[in-house]
């Protein structure tokens, strides 16, 4: 039995320590916002936050996150920065098919929490490895810039 601190709640899960975190989140804990993409940590669809840092849940064994806070897209609506990022995503109509967007939004939120005013190069670096098969990269960058502007205005 492993207790996972997931989206602000303790979830005791009867799983092995080598189970990928993605499957524990989706199949055992029942949060289905985090998506399976490649299974190798290359596409970013499964991006979550581990103690606030973006991580690929498909290659992270659940045993390696004991005692850490795990956040998924399913609970991002209660995060102030996550709310701003999600609104920017909607305002700029980023999503086409939408499959990768949970991971994209999680990576963007992590970026803006550590760097609320990123340059284009910093945005590209933070979002590297998040693949969008629909090619909405320019809209993603626009949404991140818009969220950054809103966060700066809120602090002023």
| pLDDT one digit per residue (tens) for the chain, 156 residues | 899 999 999 999 999 999 999 999 999 999 999 999 999 999 999 999 999 999 999 999 999 999 999 999 999 999 999 999 999 999 999 998 889 999 999 999 999 999 999 999 999 999 999 999 999 999 999 999 999 999 999 886
Q: Write the DSSP symbol of residue 70.
A: E
pTM (2 d.p.): 0.95
What's the confidence (pLDDT) of residue 137?
A: 95
Angle at which helices 101-114 and 137-155 cross, to 10°: 40
Q: How many angstroms separate the CA atoms of 23 and 127, rounded? A: 23
* Nearest by Cα to 91 from 146, 19, 151: 146
| Rounded Cα gap, residues 146 and 154, in angstroms | 12
Residue 156 pLDDT: 65
């Amino acid at each position: 039995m492993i207790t996972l601190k997931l989206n602000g709640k303790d979830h005791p899960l009867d799983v092995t320590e080598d189970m990928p975190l993605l499957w524990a989140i989706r199949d055992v804990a029942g949060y289905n916002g985090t998506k399976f993409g490649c299974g190798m940590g290359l596409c970013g669809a499964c991006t979550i936050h581990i103690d606030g840092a973006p991580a690929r849940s498909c290659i992270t064994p659940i045993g390696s996150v004991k005692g850490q806070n795990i956040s998924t897209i399913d609970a991002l609506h209660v995060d102030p920065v996550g709310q701003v990022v999600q609104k920017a995503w909607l305002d700029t109509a980023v999503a086409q098919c939408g499959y990768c967007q949970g991971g994209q939004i999680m990576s963007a939120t992590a970026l803006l929490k550590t760097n609320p005013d990123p340059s284009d190069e910093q945005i590209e670096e933070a979002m590297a490895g998040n693949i969008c098969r629909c090619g909405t990269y320019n809209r993603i960058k626009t949404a991140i810039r818009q969220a950054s502007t809103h966060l700066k205005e809120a602090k002023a």
